[in-house]
Chains A and B, each alone.
Chain A
């Protein structure tokens, strides 16, 4: 199985890059994954990642992209919580890509 290398520690991931053991997530790992995804993590990227981790903690699911954007709009305002901006932050899909960086499973309902 393929793995990420975080300062010499290996963290296994599946064929799409989602880590297999959710408890192995660290901020350092998020940096490694984001580099593999060609995402340059800024403050707003982290806000989305942290939001996803909180959502998973509370509801035990990674939200679908529609739900994610709606929730971000409510918590962070319409300037961030809209389709265009979210896809600028995460070009390969705000839910799919941000969940991967956040160390969560692929969102329910994504194919």
Chain B
């Protein structure tokens, strides 16, 4: 039997100022092929990655935010978002995309992927991982 490790990809940067956010998402999609327990965390400006209604036309960049909604297909079903990071930026859960995954073991019921946690809760999430990768 293979050993399943818990991987957490930590996103701290805004989506388009640097390539980090898009690259992190690509790494997650590739990594998800290896049947590990993969989740993502969003804190600091990283919470902006999940906001709805992103429009990159004027910036001449690809809007990759729809790809977050495909994560469920890759069995990445836990997206932890830090409450304090949202609060500090005047954001609420309503400002974020509605991201869901289908539970095959529960008649394909659609379940929310975004889990809002406190700063202390985020520390617990991180402590629980085998591997934490920061972008």
Contact = CB atoms under 8 A, between A and B. Distances in A.
A27 interface: no
B74 interface: yes
Interface string A47-80: 0000000010011110110110011001000000
Contacts of A67: 70, 73-74
Given A60-B62, A60-B63, A60-B67, A70 B73 contact: yes
Contacts of A60: 62-64, 66-67
A64 B62 contact: no
B26 interface: yes
Given A60-B62, A64-B74, A67-B74, A109 B67 contact: no
A108 interface: yes
Contacts of B62: 60
Interface in B34-92: 62-64, 66-67, 69-70, 73-74
B29 interface: yes
Contacts of B67: 59-61
A66 B70 contact: no
Contacts of A63: 70, 73
Most buried by A among B62, B66, B69, B70: B70
B127 interface: no
A58 B33 CA distance: 21
B105 to A, nearest CB: 14
A55 B67 CA distance: 10
B1 interface: no
B26 A108 contact: yes
* In the complex, the 9 A-B pairs of residues with the closest C-beta atoms, listed nearest first: A59-B70, A109-B30, A67-B73, A60-B66, A108-B29, A61-B67, A59-B66, A60-B67, A109-B33
Interface of A: 55, 58-61, 63-64, 66-67, 70-71, 74, 108-109
